[in-house]
């Protein structure tokens, strides 16, 4: 394998990933209020088409306390590292080529242990613990 996988550099959460992308200039925080219906999608699409930093919307209309951002599987406009938004997911350097990212992904899938699922009994599962009824 030609590229070294740095497992410690892989973001452990989406928040970690967004923080990394903001530090690297790949994502940009938008503090103006945006409408969830059509506006967010149009802005994200335009950013993708122009290879601009991907927006993170910090103020979504009618959704207090929530933020919105796309997943990040888009091409970067940063010179010399077009796949910088995808590379962190497999632990490759931000300037890795698409073939190196693919090679790292295949290597990880073939050589890493898969963790079996943990079965949780219904009575112990936290799913749907908060129920809203009525207005």
Can you tell me which residue has the tokens 């969830």?
36
Phi, psi of 98 (to 5 degrees): -65, -35
* C-alpha to C-alpha distance for 68 and 29, rounded to whole angstroms: 10
With respect to residue 71, please indicate whether it lies within any of the assigned structural domains: yes
Task: Confirm if 45 and 39 have CB atoms less than 8 A apart.
Answer: no
Domain count across the chain? 1
With respect to residue 92, please indicate whether it lies within any of the assigned structural domains: yes
* C-alpha to C-alpha distance for 95 and 76, rounded to whole angstroms: 10
With respect to residue 128, please indicate whether it lies within any of the assigned structural domains: no
With respect to residue 131, please indicate whether it lies within any of the assigned structural domains: no
Give pLDDT tens digits along the chain (135 positions).
Answer: 677 899 999 999 999 999 999 999 999 999 999 999 989 999 999 999 999 999 999 999 999 999 999 988 999 999 999 999 999 999 999 999 999 999 999 999 998 888 888 888 877 777 766 777 876
Q: What per-residue confidence (pLDDT) applies to 100?
A: 95
Query: For residue 29, what are the domain limits?
Result: 7-112
With respect to residue 21, please indicate whether it lies within any of the assigned structural domains: yes
With respect to residue 27, please indicate whether it lies within any of the assigned structural domains: yes
């Amino acid at each position: 394998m030609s590229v070294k996988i740095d497992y410690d550099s892989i973001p452990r959460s989406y928040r970690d990933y967004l923080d990394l992308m903001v530090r690297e200039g790949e994502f940009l925080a938008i503090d103006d209020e945006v409408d969830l219906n059509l506006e967010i999608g149009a802005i994200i699409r335009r950013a993708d088409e122009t290879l601009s930093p991907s927006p993170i919307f910090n103020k979504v209309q009618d959704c207090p306390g929530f933020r919105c951002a796309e997943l990040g599987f888009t091409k970067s406009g940063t010179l010399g590292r077009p796949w910088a938004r995808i590379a962190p997911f497999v632990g490759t350097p931000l300037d890795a080529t698409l073939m190196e990212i693919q090679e790292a992904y295949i290597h990880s899938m073939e050589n890493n242990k898969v963790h079996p699922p943990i079965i949780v009994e219904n009575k112990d599962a936290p799913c749907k613990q908060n129920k809203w009824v009525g207005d």
